[in-house]
Amino acid sequence: MFVPFLTRRETSIARRAGDAGGDAGGDSGGDSGGGDSGSSGDSGSGHDSSGDDSDSSEGAANGTPGGTISAGGSSTSIFTGGSGGGKNVTIPSGQTFAGRHAGGATRDQIFGSKTFGSGYPGYNTRGVNGRGFPFWFWPLSWGSDPGHGANAAYLYTNEYGDPNNSSRPGGPIVMAAFQSKYNATTFRLVSDNQTVTDLIPVITSGCSQNLSSNGTTPTAFSAIDAAPEQVVQYYRASSLALTLDGYNNSATFAPEGSTADTPLPTGIDDGLLGCLNNTIGQSAPLVDGTTQLAGPDSRAVGFVLLLLCMLHLL
């Protein structure tokens, strides 16, 4: 699996329009924000990532049980370090976003880029409107547009509710701050409550050598402390982001494909950035590949049919 900031992309794998692989986060602006906007979920894996053909059910076997989320009408377990996968299915009638596809994406597809909408199998444009849920989780909601204009419309959509929408899988969007013990560098993890809660102990344990404190806790989302122009990396179909305090990516509010990503500031704690990115990529919670959507209970349907037949005979 290609890990941004840490591993070198194999030169034998041709770079495609949607093959961002998350490298936008660490290339110091070498990649265009528009060009990488649609990381199609290949994430350096070098293979098609449509998700429809994946039948992997390794998530439970290879991961550590985390919390549970409500997705597609079912309460299902998630696993830190799990493989994900499973079948790409259609959300049934009567459930939120009925008719859209969900599931099928694997951990090899977890990295996006700096662009909102990256990391979706089959997409190479920014934005998240009308899309399915390859990892089951909904994309982030950044709240209301503070006045950035038409080019920011793709960021500020109410399709998935406000950041405090408790019905999203994993709960409302929250944040957790991670500050370097060597300088003032501060990164923030932004995602649903369950994801952030599950990742905090993994990060504080794995990156303790770079952190000023191991006592971070989830806090309510604040557009003042974490904004889309501060994102250095999206993960898991833009349902999870890592932001950097003080960073301002000019490509975020520019016309799509017109502006390169702003380089990351010099003097930041690159060691902490690499550790955070690697840990999130390896451990972000995924739904077990064996998860099935809720649908009509076949036994209940059979009972109803039998009852109707009996009534007809009376």
Residue-level pLDDT at 304: 44
pLDDT surpasses 60 at 189: yes
Residue 141 identity = S
Q: Is the pLDDT of residue 11 over 50?
A: no
Q: What is the pTM of this model?
A: 0.77
Q: List Cβ neighbours of 214 (8 Å cut-off, separation of 6 or more).
A: 204, 205, 208
- Reduce the DSSP state of residue 149 to 3 states and report it: coil
- Mean pLDDT computed over every residue of the chain: 80
Q: What is the pLDDT of residue 211?
A: 97
Q: Does a structural domain hold residue 188?
A: yes
Q: 114-155 pLDDT, tens per residue?
A: 999 998 988 999 999 999 999 999 999 999 999 999 999 999
Chain segment 250-296, per-residue pLDDT in tens: 999 999 999 999 999 999 999 999 999 999 999 999 998 776 555 44
Six-digit token pair at 295? 């649908």
Does 258 reside within a domain?
A: yes
pLDDT at 28 (0 to 100)? 40
Residue 48 has pLDDT above 60, yes or no: no
Contact 272, 179 (CB under 8 A): no
Domain presence at residue 157: yes
Tell whether the model's pLDDT for residue 190 goes beyond 50. Answer: yes
Q: Residue 273: how many CA atoms within 13 Å on its side-chain side?
A: 25
Distance between CA atoms of 229 and 218, rounded to whole angstroms? 21
* Residue span of the structural domain in which 68 resides: 23-313
* Residue 71 counted as domain residue: yes
Could you tell me if residue 16 is inside a domain? no
| Domain count within the chain | 1
Asked whether residue 13 is assigned to any structural domain, the reply reads no
The answer, yes or no, to whether residue 297 has pLDDT greater than 90, is: no
Q: Is 251 inside any structural domain?
A: yes
Residues facing 178 on adjacent strands: 187
Q: Per-residue pLDDT for 298 more than 90? A: no
pLDDT at 44: 34
pLDDT of residue 20 exceeding 90: no
Name the residue with higher pLDDT: 60 or 134.
134
Q: Is residue 6 part of a domain?
A: no
